Amino acid sequence: MKNIAIFASGSGSNFEAIVNAAEKGEIPAKISLLVCDRPEAYVIIRARTHGVPVFAFSPKDYAGKEAYEAEILERLRASDIHLIALAGYMRMVGETLLEAYPNRIVNIHPSLLPAFPGKDAIARAYQSGAKQTGVTVHYVDAGMDTGPVIAQRDVKVLEEDTEESLEERIHQTEHLLYIQTLKSLLEQGEESSQS
């Protein structure tokens, strides 16, 4: 069973969906670590409820990204982590982790990239009047939501949608797409074959 670490900063609904899937045997992996850069984030409570070990830290306690990523890397190695899944982790991943985990860091983003990268993607898509948006799972590189796309799923914007109802459907789609994508990456051993 391969070990996955999830990085998150907020509520953690994607974290919860992935942990539930792993517990039910729907993905061939164990969620062995939560890395969280906000010690007050709700995702930490979710992790404790599921017995997932947590490394929570405050970036301001470190000299910089290189210093806190060096500590994260130690924890990842101690837990024999094979794949990192970002799920609402609100920081750019730095060189330390990118070099240690080439093609083994993936992210989920709530738009059809390359449309609407960065923050508030759902609100910006809704306010643009687009008839369709969606969800993307991609490899992480040094840019902001710029790495190679692994999987995408459309979500239609309905006439009657509010920003909240659209957000709700996007989150449901995220949970399904992230689980399916992690499952196929792990089964095909493709998380490290992308060049």
Q: List contacts with ligand GRF (CB under 6 A).
A: 8, 10-15, 87-88, 108-110, 174
Q: Closest Cα to residue 27, out of 103, 82, 93?
A: 82
C-beta closer to ligand GRF: residue 70 or 123:
123
Return the ∠ at Cα 105 (arms to 104 and 109), rounded to 5°.
140
Q: Is 14 left (phi over 0), alpha (psi -120 to 50) or beta?
A: alpha
C-beta closer to ligand GRF: residue 34 or 72:
34
Q: Map residue 42 onto helix, strand or coil.
A: helix
Kindly report the backbone phi and psi dihedral angles of residue 41, in degrees, each rounded to the nearest multiple of 5, phi listed first.
-70, 145
C-beta closer to ligand GRF: residue 168 or 187:
168
CB of 175 to ligand GRF, least distance (A): 8
Q: Is 171 a catalytic residue?
A: no
Cβ-proximal residue to ligand GRF, closest one? 88
CB of 32 to ligand GRF, least distance (A): 18
The single residue of 50, 82, 109, 171 carrying the catalytic annotation is 109
CB of 121 to ligand GRF, least distance (A): 8
Q: Where do we find the tokens 């070099």? A: 99
Return the ∠ at Cα 17 (arms to 47 and 78), rounded to 5°.
45
C-beta closer to ligand GRF: residue 53 or 117:
117
CB of 89 to ligand GRF, least distance (A): 7
Q: Map residue 75 onto helix, strand or coil.
A: helix
Q: Which residues are catalytic?
A: 109
